[in-house]
Structure formats: C-alpha cells, structure tokens
Amino acid sequence: VTTFRVPEDLGSVLDKQVMGPTTENLTKSDFPVQSYQPKVQIPYRVLPGQCPRSIEIERRRWLYLTFDNAQLLASKGIDSNQLMPRHHDPDNMPTIQDKKDPLFPIYLSLKVFDNEEYDCRTPEEWISLGLEPGSHDRKPVPGKALLPTDDVLGHEDPKNPKLIYQWIDVGVLDYDKKTKLYLVHKTKNGMVRNEEGRPILNGGVTSEG
C-alpha cells in the first residue's frame, strides 16, 4: 500500500480536465450580477404553464444586451457626435448651402426632453443595484454615456469643435439629487479602477473625501 501523492502541477492537470461547455460566467467584472437584471412585473410564484420570473428576467436581459444606442439613433438618421453643442468658429462659419445654418444652432437642453414618467426605476434604485447582499461596499452600476474620446480636452472644454463624442461603456458611481447628474467612470475591459488599479467603491468617496 502506498500513500497518495499530489502532483506538483495539480493546477495544470485540473485545467486539462475539460468535460464540455459550461454556463459559468468566466468574464471578470467590477459590476455586481444583479446590476444587469432588468425589472419585471411578474410574481415570484406563477401558475403552471406561465413563464417563471427567472426565465423572463433572463430573456429580457439577453434582449436588452442586443440593443445599441448608436445604432438605434443612426437608424433614425441621428448622428451621436452631433448631439453635443459646440462652439462656433467665427472665422469659419458654415453657410446655409452647407445645411449647417449658424442662425439656428442646437439650443434645446437635454432636460427639455428628459421625461421620468415611464422610468422603471428611480435614480436611487439604479444606484442601489451596486449593493451586493451582505456587503456594505457599493459597487458601480454598468451603463453607457455619451463622452468625448479625448479625456483631457473634454474636461477642459466639453464644447470644443475638435472633440469627437461616442457612446462609451461606463460605471455609474453616484447620483446628485440637486443637479440630477450622474457621476460616471469609463470602464476598461469591464473594470472600473482608480489610478492605483483598485476597484472604485462607494462612489469613489474615501476616508479623506
């Protein structure tokens, strides 16, 4: 009788034991799992033959993942890069023949069209999706924001004509009730990290402020 000896390269041996496809989510992310779940108005217990709540949530989650803001706007003839008003160059003003009449620039602010009547969640409910059960640290919530590709110039002058705006994946960190603005941070491979490479928790507020 001999004793069992564990191979030195046990990790590589286990990695080779692939039995087939798996439903495990292998992608690394700083977002909680529940932050991707859509809100449904379905009871937790349903009658036989009706769609269970968990299946309906999963179906809507896959459906919403197929939507793309830029493509939906482009299908209606809207250029996302033109949604942000820019400063006009007085030395190079467009003419009416260019179909860019400077007499009628973009002047309607976003709040004119911001209707919260049909929102499925309040801003506080969206932010609370970052709280995992049993944890006191609030993680970011995934979202998309129309942001400039140049971060430095975008912070200095958001209406600079040289800026290019695109829909970018972000992590929503916090919400300001007074200004009704969200604090977001650009993601990198599904990660929302600070300059030190650590996850940003609780809206980025630390003991120092």
- Strand order of the β-sheet with 165-176 is 141-148, 165-176, 181-186
Q: Measuring CA to CA, which residue among 110, 87, 80, 81 is closest to residue 157?
A: 87
User: Which of helix, strand or coil describes residue 174?
Assistant: strand
pLDDT at 89: 66
Whether the CB-CB separation of 162 and 185 falls below 8 Å is answered with no
CA distance 108 to 111: 8
pLDDT at 106: 56
Q: Of the ranges 15-19, 80-84, 123-127, 168-172, which one carries the lowest mean pLDDT score?
A: 15-19
**Does 61 have pLDDT greater than 60?**
yes
pLDDT at 130: 93
pLDDT at 124: 93
Tell me the pLDDT band of 59, cut-offs 50, 70 and 90. Answer: very high
Average pLDDT of span 30-59? 91
pTM, two decimal places? 0.74
Share of the chain above pLDDT 70, in %: 88
For residue range 175-195, what is the model confidence (pLDDT) as tens digits? 999 988 999 999 988 899 988
Q: Measuring CA to CA, which residue among 172, 205, 171 is closest to residue 189?
A: 171
Concatenating the DSSP letter of every residue in 95-119 gives PGGGT--TTS-----GGGT---TT-
Cβ neighbors of 83 (< 8 A, separation 6 or more) are 146, 165
For residue range 70-99, what is the model confidence (pLDDT) as tens digits? 999 999 998 899 888 887 766 666 665 655
The mean pLDDT value of the chain amounts to 85
Domain ranges of the chain: 29-204
pLDDT at 12: 85
